[in-house]
Amino acid sequence: MSERINLGELEELILLMVALIGGDAYGVSITGELEEQAGRVITISAAHAALHRLEEKGFVTSKMGGASPDRGGRRKRLFQITAYGRQTLDELRQARNTIWVQISNI
Amino acid sequence: MATYPQPPKWAETLIDRFAPEHLAEEIKGDLYEMFLSDVKCFNDSSARRRHSWRVIGFLAKSFFWKRPTYQNHNMTGSYFRMAKRSLLANKGTTTINVLGLVIGIASALAIISIIRFELSFDTFHTNHKNIYRMVRVSGADLSEFRTGIPYAVPPALKGISSIGKMTKLEYLRGANVDVLSTDGRFERQFVEEDGVVTVEPEFFDVIDFADRPIKWISGDPETSLREPGSLVVTRTVAKKYFGDESPLGRTLRFQKAFDFKITGVVEDFPPNTDFPFRLLMSYSSMPLLFKDRMSDWVSANDGHSVYVVLHDGVDAKDVEAQIAKIHAANVGKDLSEYRHYFLQPLREVHFDPNFGTFSRRTITHETIFALQLIVLCLLAVGCINYVNLSTAHSTLRSKEIGMRKIMGSSQKNVMAQFLAETLIIVLIAAFAALGLVAVFMPSLVSMLGLQVRVNFFDPFLWITLVSIITIVTLCAGLYPALLISRFNPLSAIKNQFSTGRIAGVSLRKTLVVIQFTATQVLAVATFIVVAQMEFFRNVDMGFDRNARVVTIRLLNNEQSSLSAFESELRRLPFVENVAKSFTLPSGVERNRNSRNIGKPDANDVQDYQNYEYSAVDENFLDLYGIRLIAGRNLTSADSSKNILVNETLMKNLGYKNAQEIVGAELKMGGGDGVVHVVGVINDYYGNSLKERVDNIALDANAGRYRQVSVRLGLAADQNMTDVLTKLEQTWKSIYPEHAFQFRFLDDNIAMFYEQELKYSRLFQVFSTIFVLIGCLGLYGLITFIANRKGKEVAVRKTLGASARNIIIMFSREYIALIAVSFALAVPIAWYGVNEWLMNFENHIDVQWWLFAAPGVIVLVIALAVVCMKSFSAALANPVDKLRNE
């Protein structure tokens, strides 16, 4: 790991959710998935804040789309993980794996 | 439609109003989606509640408030560069703005320092919130306020368990002090006007100066003040008496009678304490000084005060009740019903003029409030000038703003630039003000008789300054910045603009009116205060107050030397008359002694009149020009059983006219026998004119003479210094070892009004400042308008208008504004002035011209400013204006 990865714990979880959900990742679906997968309950505003930070940092991109009547006809912002985001997740996982291997060796 | 549940309206509105435009849609969408699923899971109302919390959650997130910036350059440097350029380009306006603010900020700083000084009095003792002073309030209507506690009272309070600590002290104020040499001979003599006190060692436990410790240079509070006859002096006193010699072990003789040995030296007491002690005797010496009075439950010297520390959480009311019980058990029913002891918190002592302080200084909370109000007004008036001038000027700069906006400036950029300009001006003004304060504070402080020093290393000063800078910058800068930055670039370039209007009146006019209202209120107040002071100075006090009288204080009244002194005085060519008396007819340096007197059939306390009694000789009435209304004057043959009464006492005793009381017998309170009234004198003011005339009676008891009054008849070329030297020589020839202490009667009377005199000076200074700032602003406005209307004036002139028409055109508006502000100022001033005058028993009537005159003066000054500027505009050659387009 050459340089420090600027990714918080919540941000990492949300980034994972974006990757997991794939096509329909937006505020509500991400909070729902997060609760289901990791048991973490977060407010919708916290999710939005984290997504904005991820986008600023370049881990995700977004576009508007998918209006539906159960949103009062409003569109949602759909997030998609970037190549840089995927690479970062990979790096993090590898770094941790390396460490875990050593711990279980003891 | 109705089947769809709706989230709360206000929440949606909030998002619409504040969310960044590009985010509003998705946020609202997500919220709505969650709301619908909540509706399915819970009921409507809890879904609404959850929705509201989510919205509030968004409000708390910083991304919600961020706006996309199209420009990420740091413009701070550029703002200041631009501000500097535009300030330099308009030197006149800049100067006026700076000047107005300098005066405002400087005065504000000065007053804040003074207020802080006054509020700091005796706040540095441990537990200062639990310290109380015992005070005594008497009379059927509780109208007599005293601090003196009879000597027997404090020892009896030892049993009250709520009292943690107690200390008693007697403030003797002044004394004649002789320095004795080591072998006991008279060496030097000093007269101390104040600072002499007897204290217990416990004094330093109660009033402990914890946060402003007083260093003991030698000795310590425990031992140095234990023994009778021991004395502790402050460093300054030690230096004055002994120079560099050690004062320890030396003896000082007080009033030619009491010897005290110096057992300790302390550092000087701080200036902001109401315990201004310099010579501290041990309280155990009190029996020496006052002998048998120590067991007295009734009479008290005013200087004998008691301070207690109550335990935390104790209600002072309970303690007062216990004291009342002890008091009632030890004195007669009459007295215990007539006199009440209360506990006054130490933190109120400096602010309650009823009881006074040892430092003789008090300041009421109302005065402090008035001062704070003045600070606010001063800063406000400075800000108003700035707002007026910069909004007026913005019209000139509209092209610049339009251009900036077209080139891509956002509203925020323009605001930042204008605020930067304001900040620069305020900064310049603030530092100039600091310099001004440093230069003028000493003279302001000495004018007010304060001991405030401006300490430039005091963090408080800097905090104040920074907050003033911030507040003024925001108040003065925000409105113009908002207004200017809101210009629509197109209309700005086309020079179509409008300034703000409040309820249809232009903001600028409103501000001018506010400014001049404040100015005129102050101007009227100044007139009234000065008129009242003149009244005090000139009114008939019932005796000849303009007589040149020197009064000399006696240290003993041994008969032979006193009459020798009198005849020596009479031999001096410039002495017109000499009189001996217990005290003076009036003035600050006046002793008071009061007793009760009643008709022969008096029984109850209510039947007696409290009166002030003084002893005089046969020349006294003549010397002071006090008239005898009926009966005869006292003679040296009269005993103390024959008295003169004044008219007030006569009326209060229930006698209709003077003939009736002459020859009457009166009964003294407390079974002190019967006196004969031989005459009635006219009322004179023994107190200041702030109060009523007291009951006064005079007898001829030669044993009580303490003062010699000398009336001088001076030739025109007579030098006062010579006269005083001659008087002193005469004194020394009779009393070689006594200090010659004299005062002029008129100075003595003038001292009654010291406080009012200070106010009147303060008012004069501030009303001048207000007028000054107001006129500066007016000058700026007129200059600007004259420039702007240059072309209009030129056209009018070419079409035949005279200079007079032009001037009227300019000044009409301002006369109207000032008239409006006058109309507003009159009722405000009327109310304030009446409140103030009600403090005095004798005061001037508020007359119409006292309002009209200041109004006219302010109007004339303002008009002069307006005319001066419009005159030059009116005289300008129209060609010059019309040519350059």
Q: Chain B: nearest CA to A93, how far in angstroms?
A: 29
What is the arithmetic mean of pLDDT over B31-53? 86
H-type helices in B253-410, by residue range?
A: 286-290, 316-330, 333-338, 346-349, 365-394, 398-406
User: Any idea which of B125-139, B146-160, B308-322, B388-402 has the lowest mean pLDDT?
Assistant: B388-402
Query: pLDDT at position B470, please?
Result: 92
What is the arithmetic mean of pLDDT over B87-107? 87
More reliable by pLDDT, B295 or B168: B168
The answer as to whether A1 is a domain residue is no
Secondary structure E strands in B144-185: 144-146, 163-180
Q: Are strands B609-615 and B665-668 parallel, antiparallel or unpaired?
A: unpaired
More reliable by pLDDT, A60 or B485: A60
What is the arithmetic mean of pLDDT over B728-748? 86
Q: Does A49 touch chain B (CB under 8 A)?
A: yes
**B571 pLDDT above the threshold of 60:** yes
How far does CA B823 lie from the centroid of its chain?
29
**Residue B503's pLDDT band (cuts 50, 70, 90):** very low
**B779 pLDDT above the threshold of 50:** yes
**B759 pLDDT above the threshold of 80:** no
What is the arithmetic mean of pLDDT over B245-250? 90
pLDDT tens sequence across B592-614: 666 778 887 777 766 777 788 78
More reliable by pLDDT, B4 or B56: B56
Query: pLDDT at position B69, please?
Result: 57
Residue of B28, B36, B57 lying closest to A45 (CB–CB): B57
Q: In whole angstroms, how large is the CA radius of gyration of chain B?
A: 37
More reliable by pLDDT, B56 or B65: B56
**Distance separating alpha carbons of residues B690 and B703, to the nearest angstrom:** 32
Q: Does B815 touch chain A (CB under 8 A)?
A: no
Q: Does B641 touch chain A (CB under 8 A)?
A: no
What is the arithmetic mean of pLDDT over B480-484? 81
Q: Does B61 touch chain A (CB under 8 A)?
A: yes
The answer as to whether A77 is a domain residue is yes
- Asked if the Cβ–Cβ distance from B26 to A43 is below 8 Å, we say no
- Using alpha carbons, select from B802, B818, B579, B795 the residue that is nearest to residue B700: B579
| Gap between the terminal Cα atoms of chain B | 65
Triad B537, B826, B507: Cα angle to 5°: 135
Residue of A45, A48, A70 lying closest to B33 (CB–CB): A70
Query: pLDDT at position B502, please?
Result: 45
- Asked if the Cβ–Cβ distance from A44 to B30 is below 8 Å, we say yes
User: Any idea which of A1-10, B389-398, B435-444, B655-664 has the lowest mean pLDDT?
Assistant: A1-10
Query: pLDDT at position B605, please?
Result: 65
Question: What is the SS3 assignment for B710?
Answer: strand
Query: pLDDT at position B132, please?
Result: 94
- Using alpha carbons, select from B605, B147, B129 the residue that is nearest to residue B341: B147
Q: What is the DSSP letter of B258?
A: E
The neighbouring-strand residues paired with B345 are B132
More reliable by pLDDT, B768 or B467: B467
The answer as to whether A75 is a domain residue is yes
**Residue B589's pLDDT band (cuts 50, 70, 90):** low
Query: pLDDT at position B331, please?
Result: 83
What number of C-beta contacts closer than 8 Å exist between A and B? 61
Q: Chain B: nearest CA to A15, how far in angstroms?
A: 18
**Residue B307's pLDDT band (cuts 50, 70, 90):** very high
The answer as to whether A61 is a domain residue is yes
Q: Are strands B186-199 and B279-282 parallel, antiparallel or unpaired?
A: parallel
Q: Give the best residue of B26, B58, B67 to mutate against chain A (max A CB count within 10 A).
A: B26
Residue of B25, B30, B58 lying closest to A28 (CB–CB): B30
Q: Does A69 touch chain B (CB under 8 A)?
A: no
**Cβ contacts of B31 on chain A, cutoff 8 Å:** 44
One-letter amino acid at B539 equals V
**B418 pLDDT above the threshold of 60:** yes
Query: pLDDT at position B2, please?
Result: 45
**A2 pLDDT above the threshold of 60:** no
Query: pLDDT at position B83, please?
Result: 82
Instruction: Extract the tokens encoding B29.
Output: 């969408």
- Asked if the Cβ–Cβ distance from A76 to B63 is below 8 Å, we say no
Query: pLDDT at position B427, please?
Result: 92
- Asked if the Cβ–Cβ distance from B60 to A45 is below 8 Å, we say yes
- Asked if the Cβ–Cβ distance from A74 to B54 is below 8 Å, we say no
Q: Does B20 touch chain A (CB under 8 A)?
A: no
Q: Does B654 touch chain A (CB under 8 A)?
A: no
**B345 pLDDT above the threshold of 90:** yes
The torsion defined by the Cα of A97, A98, A99 and A100, in degrees rounded to 10, comes to: 40
**B735 pLDDT above the threshold of 90:** no
What is the arithmetic mean of pLDDT over B87-91? 84
Q: Does A77 touch chain B (CB under 8 A)?
A: yes
Question: Which pairs with CB-CB distance under 8 Å and at least 24 residues apart come from B464-469?
Answer: B464/B109, B464/B112, B465/B109, B465/B430, B465/B434, B468/B105, B468/B108, B468/B109, B468/B379, B468/B430, B469/B423, B469/B426, B469/B427, B469/B430
Instruction: Extract the tokens encoding B829.
Output: 């001033």
Q: Chain A: nearest CA to B18, how far in angstroms?
A: 14
Q: How many independent structural domains does chain A possess?
A: 1
Please, what is the angle between helix A27-38 and helix A9-21, to 10°?
Answer: 100
**B504 pLDDT above the threshold of 60:** no
Query: pLDDT at position B1, please?
Result: 42
Q: Where are the domains of chain B?
A: 9-65, 131-349, 365-535+754-883, 549-751
Q: Does B63 touch chain A (CB under 8 A)?
A: yes
Query: pLDDT at position B26, please?
Result: 85
What is the arithmetic mean of pLDDT over B673-694? 83
**Cβ contacts of B52 on chain A, cutoff 8 Å:** none
**Cβ contacts of B34 on chain A, cutoff 8 Å:** 28, 44
Q: Chain B: nearest CA to A32, how far in angstroms?
A: 10
More reliable by pLDDT, B17 or B109: B109
**B74 pLDDT above the threshold of 70:** no
**Cβ contacts of B58 on chain A, cutoff 8 Å:** 44-45, 48
More reliable by pLDDT, B3 or B809: B809
For residue B58, what is the nearest residue in chain A, using CA coordinates? Answer: A45
Share of chain B above pLDDT 70, in %: 95
**Cβ contacts of B49 on chain A, cutoff 8 Å:** none
- Asked if the Cβ–Cβ distance from A48 to B27 is below 8 Å, we say yes
- Asked if the Cβ–Cβ distance from B63 to A70 is below 8 Å, we say no
Domain assignment of residue A38, given as a range:
9-105
**B536 pLDDT above the threshold of 80:** yes
Q: Does A45 touch chain B (CB under 8 A)?
A: yes
**Residue B346's pLDDT band (cuts 50, 70, 90):** very high
Residue of A64, A70, A77 lying closest to B36 (CB–CB): A70
Residue of A45, A46, A74 lying closest to B29 (CB–CB): A74
- Asked if the Cβ–Cβ distance from B25 to A46 is below 8 Å, we say no
**Residue B493's pLDDT band (cuts 50, 70, 90):** low
CATH number for the domain harbouring residue A50: 1.10.10.10
**Residue A76's pLDDT band (cuts 50, 70, 90):** confident
- Asked if the Cβ–Cβ distance from B58 to A48 is below 8 Å, we say yes
- Asked if the Cβ–Cβ distance from B26 to A53 is below 8 Å, we say no
Question: What is the SS3 assignment for B735?
Answer: coil
**Residue B63's pLDDT band (cuts 50, 70, 90):** confident
With residue B138 as reference, give the H or E element that holds it: strand B131-138
What does the mean pLDDT of chain A come to?
A: 86
- Asked if the Cβ–Cβ distance from B54 to A77 is below 8 Å, we say no
Q: Chain B: nearest CA to A94, how far in angstroms?
A: 32
pLDDT tens sequence across B609-655: 778 878 888 899 999 989 988 888 988 888 778 889 988 888 888 88
Query: pLDDT at position B494, please?
Result: 65
- Asked if the Cβ–Cβ distance from B26 to A26 is below 8 Å, we say yes
**A92 pLDDT above the threshold of 50:** yes
- Asked if the Cβ–Cβ distance from B31 to A44 is below 8 Å, we say yes
- Three-state SS string over A50-75 comes to HHHHHHHHCCEEEEEECCCHHHCCCC
Q: Give this complex's ipTM.
A: 0.87
**B842 pLDDT above the threshold of 60:** yes
- Using alpha carbons, select from B698, B709, B703, B701 the residue that is nearest to residue B559: B703
- Using alpha carbons, select from B421, B304, B338 the residue that is nearest to residue B138: B338
- Asked if the Cβ–Cβ distance from B61 to A48 is below 8 Å, we say yes
Query: pLDDT at position B432, please?
Result: 93
What does the mean pLDDT of chain B come to?
A: 84
- Asked if the Cβ–Cβ distance from B34 to A44 is below 8 Å, we say yes
The neighbouring-strand residues paired with A61 are A80
Query: pLDDT at position B70, please?
Result: 54
Q: Does B24 touch chain A (CB under 8 A)?
A: no
Q: Does A46 touch chain B (CB under 8 A)?
A: yes
**Distance separating alpha carbons of residues B506 and B502, to the nearest angstrom:** 6
Give the CB-side neighbour count of residue B307, counting CA atoms within 13 A.
26
